[in-house]
Structure formats: structure tokens, C-alpha cells
Amino acid sequence: MSTRPLRVGIVCPYSFDAPGGVQFHVRDLAQALVAQGHEASVLAPADEDTPVPDVVTPAGRAVPVRYNGSVARLAFGPRAAARVRRWIDAGRFDVLHLHEPMTPSLSMLALWIAEGPVVATFHTAQVRSRALQVAYPLLRQSLEKIAARIAVSEDARRTLVDHLGGDAVVIPNGVYVDTFAAAPAQDRWRGTPAAPTIAFLGRLDEPRKGLEVLVAAAPRILEKVPGARFLVAGRGDAGRQAAEAALGEHAASFEWLGGISDEDKAALLGSVDLYVAPQTGGESFGIVLVEAMSAGAAVVASDLGAFRRVLDDGCAGRLFRTGDAADLADQVLAALADPEGTHERRERATAFVRRFDWSAVTAQVLAVYEMAVAAGEAIGTWPVHRKAGA
């Protein structure tokens, strides 16, 4: 693979006003590329007053839209298209990396507008995606511009193949493993054998994140371990209120942390006895599981395909039947009652997560970039430029 520095333009469809997994992936990829001597610029929706990393160029306000089982903040229309054109013209990128180009936002606009080496990453994992079904006729011809496709997991690759045909190379989401491993534990979040701490991270008002499953499992856990503390990080007042009402007398065992910083997230994961991931669906990878494993937390997760693969089929963490609160409780109690087995899984996880470190992931992404650039040079469409008349 060539070691020449590349100018990489990365387009994120989702707004940095309320960042989530895709935004963090895009941000970290850009920063990892810069650290290796490349130039990277990210175009993403963001209000003018939203703080964004130095690598991000804000593309203006986004509109909240219900999309793929969640609420996504997207930017579309003539004004957004004009910003995409200006950014491409100024960038003169060697390669354009579009995330979720089938989402009606900046990546789709960039695919329509740009010519030259284009790489696309697909994050969505669903058995049947109505969004992909609707978008495909609009983008059928433009999809031919994509020189290489990346899927973040086998589940995302299968979704892509089933809906769009073709194939993709699987390159997982990245994590700065050493950053999480080195995060200092905090006494306020540490547990004891009599009062273990169990963490959950996710939007509280997004049903697929599974807070309701954890809430339903809590009474059974507290019956056996009455001192257990549940540390819940995430935004969503409606979800919190519903959870507190459902918990009743057990509500005092839950501590609501609200939204937390990246630093506090790493410290939380490095402090607790268990991290629980009760998601019920729509997960293409499971980046928070990798973060928890990197920080040294023991993990209990629903047996979604993506989670099963991240947890090495249960060797790096315990799995429970998706949506089954009783089984979740049983697996949590088993993890707490078997410290030796839990330690063995944590040791396995510590080794297993190295494959997800950005040092490994970035090398794989760069290999795809080089392939796309070489193809563009061969057919005379390098560097990236704006389509004539667009």
C-alpha cells in the first residue's frame, strides 16, 4: 500500500447537534487519519453555535426526522446542496468517503454532486429497511459512482446485499482502546461485593436501546442483591419518567447521570462491575460494548447478531435472550455470583478488542482508499470534483 499522504473528504449525514455512534465514528476516523499524516475534512450538519471538532465543517441546521427506528437530524434541500458543492470545490480531495449515502441528507447529496474516487460506508443493519427500499430507485445510477463499499459489521453487510445487491468489505467501527483502558476509575461509581454497580448508556426515550428491559429485570436482581446500584447515563426525560414510574419502590436503586462527556463515559465504564446492553434491535455493531470491554468492564448483552460477534460468541461477555428481562436478570446474577468466570471473560475481552483499535481499523480503511484512488487514476476521474452543471 502506498504511503503517500491523502486528502480525504468525509461526509456525515447526521447532525453533531445531538451526536451518536455514526458521528463519533466519523470524528474519530478523521482524527486517526490526521494522526497518521493525512489531511481530513468532515462535512456534517450542525448549527452555527454547536461546538464541533476542528476537523468538522458545519453544514448548517438539521431537521429531526424519524428514521430507521430512531430520530435522526438530517440536512437536505437546495441550501444543503450548495454547501456540499462549495466544500467539494474547496477540498480537491483525493477520495470522498460518504457515510450512509442512502440516507436523505448530506451524503446522498454528495453522491449526486461529486465525481471521482468515492468510498461509502454503510452502518444500518435491519432485516427490512424501508428507507433503503425507497431510496434505491432515486440512487440506482449514482450508486455506480461508488468505487468501494464498506460495511461496519456482517449484519450491515447483509442489509446492504439484500437491499442493494453487490457486496462490501467488512471493517468494524474503531475505538481508541488504550484511552478507555487508561481511564481512571472513580470511587463514586465503584461497587463492592454487597453493592455492585451496573451501568447502562443510551438514549432513555429510544425503545430499541432497551431501558425498559433493564427496568423489568431490576426487581429480580435486587431481590438477590439488594445493594445493587444501577448507573444510567443518557438523555431523555420521558424515558426516565416512565422508568421511574415502572420501578416504583425500586427507583432508589437507580442513579440518573444524564448526558456525560467522553471522559466521564470512559471513567464510568472503567469503574463499574458490569455494563449491561439490553438493546432490542437495530444495532449494526455495538461500539459501546467495545468501549466497555476496552475499559475493563464485564459485559452482559442481548444476543443480537452484532453483539454476539463483538463478544466473541459469548466468550468475551455474557449473552441473554433479546427482550427477555428474566434471562437478563439471570445472566447479571450469574456474572456477579461467578467472579472467576467473569474475570476470564474480561481477560478474553481485553485481548479480543485489539482488533477494533483505530490503529488496526485505519489501516484497513486506508487500503480501501488506495484502491479507490488507483481506480480513479486509471479512468481519469481523480481527484474528486463537482459534477459538471451540478
pLDDT for residue 389: 66
pLDDT for residue 381: 75
Q: Give Cα separations from 21 to 202, 283, 291, 368 (angstroms).
A: 10, 10, 12, 22
pLDDT for residue 132: 64
CATH 3.40.50.2000 residue ranges in the chain? 7-174+357-386, 177-354
**Grid coordinates belonging to 302:** 442481548
pLDDT for residue 388: 66
**Residue 227, number of CB atoms within 10 A of its CB:** 12
Tally of CA atoms within 13 A in the half-sphere of 24 that contains its CB: 15
CATH value of 177-354 in 3.40.50.2000, 3.40.30.120, 3.40.50.720, 3.40.50.1440: 3.40.50.2000
pLDDT for residue 136: 67
Give 9: exposed, middle or buried? Use CB within 10 Å, 0-12, 13-18, 19+.
Answer: buried
292 closest CA partner among 146, 128, 177, 384: 177
In this prediction, the residues of the chain whose per-residue pLDDT falls under 50 are 1
pLDDT for residue 3: 62
Residue with cell 437507580: 254
pLDDT for residue 378: 81
pLDDT for residue 189: 98
State the fold for domain 7-174+357-386: Rossmann fold (3.40.50)
Q: CB–CB of 69/281 below 8 Å?
A: yes
pLDDT for residue 1: 45
pLDDT for residue 12: 97
User: How many residues belong to the chain?
Assistant: 390
pLDDT for residue 135: 66
pTM as predicted: 0.87
**Grid coordinates belonging to 99:** 457515510
pLDDT for residue 209: 95
